[in-house]
Structure 1
Amino acid sequence: MAVFTGVLTLPLLAILVSMGQESVEWNHLAETVLGRYLTNTLVLVLGVSLLVLLMGVLPAWLVTTCEFRGRRILSWALILPLAIPTYIAAFVFYQGPEAAIPLLIQVRQRFGVDAFLLTEQVIRYGLLILMLAAVLYPYVYLACCSAFARQSRAVIEAARCLGDSPTRAFVRAALPMARPGIVAGVALVIMEVINDYGAVHFFGVPTLTEGVFRTWFGMGDKIAALRLAGIMMLVVAVLLALEQGLRGRARYVEADAGGIPLRRVPLAGAKATLAFLLCVVPVALGFLYPVVRLSHWAGLYFLSDAGGSFFPGGAALGRGFGLALVTAVVVTAMAALFIYAVRLRESRLRRFFGRVAGMGYATPGAVIAVGVLVVFGTLDRVAPPFLPLVSGTLFVIGFAYMLRFFAIPLQLSRAGLERIGKPLEEASRLLGHPPLRTFLQVDLPLLRAPLAAAGMLLFVDILKELPLTLILRPANFETLATTAYSLASEARLHACAVPALLIVAVGAVGLLVMNHWLQTSPTSSKHE
């Protein structure tokens, strides 16, 4: 277990070690663009965080505590924007600034060039923030739904008895109790914003992640890129520490802890219409609009002359699916065995190994990619001549995917084992069965649902991953994500829509399967 955890952390340690080496371009970067990278990253983080709170918290409260026409469908539809990768949404939303050209012309004619540039920048940044929030708010929505569903009706009724209106009771009682879930959801959104490359590159907003790409591949300065990656790790570490501080150690009253579950309040008339609109707007922005626009582009492509002779992403479809499927199966199996080993002999050290092994999910893909390049590049240099080179192979990218997404099957496997409990395992051990046989014959059949959900989510995330894949893919190896990005970069938006829709379709199916498992499986009895 210690060896496995150490191997997973090698790329991150390699970045920290390499930061001390001499860099030719670092002083120039620090004096010119580093401040801009940091400022843009923080602006996006703050703007998207505020917007996802508006788009995620209120719909979660409405679908959890109110009854209105369309509520059941919307409770499922509100998670669908997660099926839209940010770089695909960027292809669609980037058409927005073109609609503002008449306004920009008027601003330039009346107020001058400086006002024109400022207005254009505000529109571009604002649209990017709106787009990122529209596809990432489900992280907050799902966390809030779980938190609100576990709250006790007695707490809300006590607030009402003290004279609070429903709105005031929501603000003073429900929101503070849901704070840990809200903070966790926003933290996931922030990680995704920092990790994004395709959308910020498409909108021309340089961030730390794009800085890594520019420095490594544009300027050829590996050490400067590693230092930027180290700064990203520091930013993520500060945010995670802030999240833990905000969540604290407080425990909250829940329905399954002896309280009375919340009862949905029927809404009618104007209130029902308003609730419906508040829930449908995020879905329309984050899912319906991109899908309709992509479908229109794909239809135009297939009606064109090129559509009859060339299927964009055809080769990438098989390669990308194969790589994602094999990696998802292997990583899910390894995560199940890992968490079972932790469970067999629980200790602080083993729990620490479990937390460290899942650390990659909080690390941007570009950071992991450059760390993996350093590790395997070093191995190739010190390996004996008769051994084959490892860098530039599918093994490297598969290892990077495992480091990046190991936390997904790890957490779902842990949750599944906690629901099973230990009585069945103890009975098997009393019958003389060894731990491995107990796991295979007792635990594994009961873990089929969470492991299947973990594998599906892992498959979808690997299929969507862009920054890591762009850096580590072997020569002439394309996935659906890289194909869609390349076609969009060449302004071939109609052709780009075909692989983009395939990614969205697979992601939507995976999310619906996962949501079904979450709603039909028993909830944990503990929540912090």
Structure 2
Amino acid sequence: MVAELNKYLRRELDVWSLPTVLLGLLLLVPLFTVAIGLGDTGPKWDHLKSTVLSGYVFNTLLLVILVTTLATLFAVPAAWVISVFEFPGHRVFAWVLILPLAIPTYVSAFVYFQFTEAVIPLLVKIRNVWGIEVFQGAEIALRYGLLTILMASVLYPYIYISVRASFSQQRQRLFEAAHTLGHGLWSVFFSVALPLARPALVGGGSLVVMEVINDYGAVHFFGVPTLTEGIFRTWFGLGDLSSALRLAGLIMLVVFTILFFERAERGRARYADPGHRSKTRTLRKLSGLQGALAAGLCLIPLTLGFLFPTGQLVIWAYRSWGKVFRTEFAMHLANSFMLAIVAALVLTFIALLFSYSVKLHPVRWLKSVTAISALGYSAPGAVVAVGVMVVIGSLDRMIASVGDGAFMLSGSLLVIGFAYCVRFLAVSLQPVNGGMSRICGSLDEASRSLGRGKLATLWHINLPLLRGTLVAAFTLVFVDILKELPLTMILRPANFETMATTAFSLAKEGRIHECAVPSLILLAAGGLGLVTIHRLILTPQR
């Protein structure tokens, strides 16, 4: 038995699979640390639990419900009219409706926050007429309302993309059968199309929920204390890392529970489409008032999520660009690009290593290791940052105990680079896995039969075929890191600024106009990411 095990390990653990396993386990250490932190208790946590924890949970759940509901109301009707009708601007709307994803929620918050200042005279009148309690209620409703609108208008494309794909794949035969039973078009929508799209709706909605939980910049700007905001308040405000770790564990538990139920929902869903050989559905032409209404239905979320914030940022940037373009701004821009480029290169290399190792050793346990090691993308950035900080703090104490403490990892760029690897591995791994799976295995076998080793086969066969996929993976990671705020704010070295932290700091200081230039740079990066995703989906690697 032992001899067979040793033989199996020698066969499956080589210079490719062993580094994959070790690196995958290393990337899981921060998440494992956060999970262990759920069991820690103490007087500070008891105080937190008895005072503000219920508020954090309530605000998070309320925001999740409000944003997900409004995002669904934005996304589903737009996806339906795009999939079923042809109207003026149809082709343009089909593409531009995903543009709000290019805008980080905290950037949109900078724009929408101006409304709170515009209604101050009205709030003062409310206080004078109806008293302080009504005034406080109106002020809270205003903040929550604006926050819900801006987050839903930015995040609805997650639902729109998945639901539109589901609607587009539904066949003409189903609708013809429903029509023969006397159902009108909107009756077909509620009785046939929407139930068939439920798995897609659940999948897109779960992404919206996780983005809401992950958000720090927008909720902080509007003063809404959520669980993620609570991590910052507990750690930096109270200096209590232990309670912050427990909060992070609570958030991770919630997120993984959502993922579990989302996967279970998709696993239970079995919708047979008997029309898989029938013709695809023809679009119904709309003109006049009906066409205008359909276009307006698409224009509302697009305006709220992209056109209005972008237009306002352009105006502010025009007014303030002379104050922004200075030496320190160039340094912050260089910091952003340096971090994003280096981390994206490292993550693309790791993804290539993982994917090629699984190709060489297609065993279940190795596939599981690579899949689980990418779970960091499911956890909010603040949660990953807390886990990384606890791990690095322990390493620093070990280093100090055996040396003079001159070399410390905390506060270095190595730490933030490691955190980016934990957080964004899935972003690079998914496209690389997809590209690797499309390469015929017989090409590798032919290469090795000609005497080339595994490395030479990778270099001469796989890499040329993966060139486009690797560029796409690099671009996606580069964009995500450029826009990342909470993780960067927690782990960055002292006096180290990126475009995301610069925009956020300027907005917090009340220099709203000056935050427009770095915000537009982030928006442009987000647009680059959307173009990459579009090309990756529509023009797959051959």
- What TM-score comes out, normalization by structure 2 length? 0.90
2:389 to 373, 393, 399: 373
Q: What 5-or-longer segments of structure 1 have no aligned partner?
A: 524-528
Provide the rounded CA distance (Å) in 2 between the counterparts of 1:167 and 1:20: 51
Q: Residue 374 of structure 2 aligns with which residue?
A: 358
Q: 1:219 to 1:105 in 2, by over 3 A?
A: same
Q: Map of 1:126-525 to 2, 5 A cutoff?
A: 126-252=145-271, 258-302=277-321, 306=323, 310=326, 313-383=329-399, 384-385=402-403, 388-521=407-540
Q: Give the partner amino acid of 1:354.
A: T
8 Å contact kept, 1:151–1:253 = no
Provide the rounded CA distance (Å) in 2 between the counterparts of 1:91 and 1:53: 24
Q: Give the partner amino acid of 2:411.
A: G
- 1:472 Cα deviation after fit: 0.3
Provide the rounded CA distance (Å) in 2 between the counterparts of 1:251 and 1:119: 46
Q: Give the partner amino acid of 2:506.
A: L
Provide the rounded CA distance (Å) in 2 between the counterparts of 1:353 and 1:390: 27
- 1:411 Cα deviation after fit: 1.4
Note if 1:52 corresponds to 2:61: no
**How many residues are paired up?**
520
> Any idea what SS the aligned residue of 1:388 has?
coil
- 1:455 Cα deviation after fit: 1.6
Provide the rounded CA distance (Å) in 2 between the counterparts of 1:388 and 1:259: 68
Q: 1:501 to 1:347 in 2, by over 3 A?
A: same
Note if 1:38 corresponds to 2:70: no
Note if 1:27 corresponds to 2:43: no
- 1:251 Cα deviation after fit: 4.3
Q: Give the partner amino acid of 1:132.
A: M
8 Å contact kept, 1:64–1:264 = yes
Q: 1:228 to 1:82 in 2, by over 3 A?
A: same
8 Å contact kept, 2:435–2:541 = no
Q: 1:318 to 1:345 in 2, by over 3 A?
A: same
Q: Residue 15 of structure 1 aligns with which residue?
A: 34
Q: Give the partner amino acid of 1:3.
A: L
Q: What 5-or-longer segments of structure 2 have no aligned partner?
A: 1-19
Q: Map of 1:59-98 to 2, 5 A cutoff?
A: 59-98=78-117
> Any idea what SS the aligned residue of 1:14 has?
helix
Provide the rounded CA distance (Å) in 2 between the counterparts of 1:390 and 1:433: 41
Provide the rounded CA distance (Å) in 2 between the counterparts of 1:423 and 1:66: 45
Structure 1 residues 229-238 or 172-181, which shifts more? 172-181
Provide the rounded CA distance (Å) in 1 between the counterparts of 2:422 and 2:277: 39
Structure 1 residues 358-367 or 70-79, which shifts more? 70-79
Provide the rounded CA distance (Å) in 1 between the counterparts of 2:83 and 2:464: 32
Bigger radius of gyration among the two: 2
8 Å contact kept, 2:196–2:271 = yes
8 Å contact kept, 2:70–2:152 = yes
Q: Residue 526 of structure 1 aligns with which residue?
A: none
Structure 1 residues 168-177 or 473-482, which shifts more? 168-177
8 Å contact kept, 1:135–1:286 = yes
Identity of aligned residues (%): 48
8 Å contact kept, 1:143–1:184 = yes
8 Å contact kept, 2:210–2:378 = yes
8 Å contact kept, 1:339–1:413 = yes
> Any idea what SS the aligned residue of 1:137 has?
helix
Structure 1 residues 285-294 or 20-29, which shifts more? 20-29
Q: Residue 10 of structure 2 aligns with which residue?
A: none
Structure 1 residues 346-355 or 288-297, which shifts more? 346-355
8 Å contact kept, 1:320–1:479 = yes
Q: 1:273 to 1:521 in 2, by over 3 A?
A: farther
Structure 1 residues 251-260 or 369-378, which shifts more? 251-260
Structure 1 residues 344-353 or 405-414, which shifts more? 344-353
8 Å contact kept, 1:76–1:512 = no
Provide the rounded CA distance (Å) in 1 between the counterparts of 2:504 and 2:328: 12
Provide the rounded CA distance (Å) in 2 between the counterparts of 1:405 and 1:262: 38
Structure 1 residues 7-16 or 260-269, which shifts more? 260-269
Q: 1:178 to 1:421 in 2, by over 3 A?
A: farther
Q: Give the partner amino acid of 1:108.
A: R
Q: 1:21 to 1:250 in 2, by over 3 A?
A: closer
8 Å contact kept, 2:321–2:517 = no
Provide the rounded CA distance (Å) in 2 between the counterparts of 1:6 and 1:48: 35
Provide the rounded CA distance (Å) in 2 between the counterparts of 1:432 and 1:272: 64
Provide the rounded CA distance (Å) in 2 between the counterparts of 1:500 and 1:255: 48
- What TM-score comes out, normalization by structure 1 length? 0.93
Deviations 1:47-75 (A, max 9, x none): 11111111122222322332222122222
Provide the rounded CA distance (Å) in 2 between the counterparts of 1:162 and 1:420: 47
Q: 1:230 to 1:508 in 2, by over 3 A?
A: same
Q: 1:151 to 1:421 in 2, by over 3 A?
A: farther
Q: 1:29 to 1:520 in 2, by over 3 A?
A: same
- 1:229 Cα deviation after fit: 0.7
Structure 1 residues 179-188 or 94-103, which shifts more? 94-103
Structure 1 residues 371-380 or 242-251, which shifts more? 242-251
> Any idea what SS the aligned residue of 2:42 has?
coil
- 1:105 Cα deviation after fit: 3.1
8 Å contact kept, 1:67–1:265 = yes
- 1:132 Cα deviation after fit: 0.5
Q: 1:14 to 1:251 in 2, by over 3 A?
A: same
Provide the rounded CA distance (Å) in 1 between the counterparts of 2:349 and 2:23: 14
- 1:402 Cα deviation after fit: 1.1
8 Å contact kept, 1:255–1:261 = no
Q: Residue 24 of structure 2 aligns with which residue?
A: 5
